[in-house]
Amino acid sequence: MSGKSIRFSIYAVVLFALLIIAIINLFKFNILLGIAGVILLIFPAKLQRIALDEASGTADKIIAKYIAPALAVILTFFAIMAIAVWIK
């Protein structure tokens, strides 16, 4: 089991959450800025890929392959709902 893989998974989810908050705020100011902010989501995806490459044990692989992306999907759902509510 690699602690490095788990750390990268946690970093990816935290960075994703922070970027979602930033993108919501960018959409509040300007639609084009919000769309440009979506490009920043490349960075958590790269961190997730590194976490998956570093995974050596079963628990690491489960966290990096299933749990972290599931959290990202849940955060995306809540972000879309927040954008719809906060833009008004």
Give the structural domain span for 52. 3-86
In this prediction, residue 61 carries a pLDDT of: 85
Taking the CA of residue 53 as centre, how many other CA atoms within 13 Å lie in the half-sphere pointing to its CB?
Answer: 6
41-51 tens-digit pLDDT? 888 888 888 88
Q: Mean pLDDT across the stretch 23-28?
A: 80
Domain count, the chain: 1
This prediction's pTM: 0.75
Cβ atoms 27, 2 nearer than 8 A? no
In this prediction, residue 2 carries a pLDDT of: 65
Cβ atoms 47, 8 nearer than 8 A? yes
| Torsion angle, alpha carbons of 31, 46, 8, 19, to 10 | 0
Amino acid (one-letter) located at 88 = K
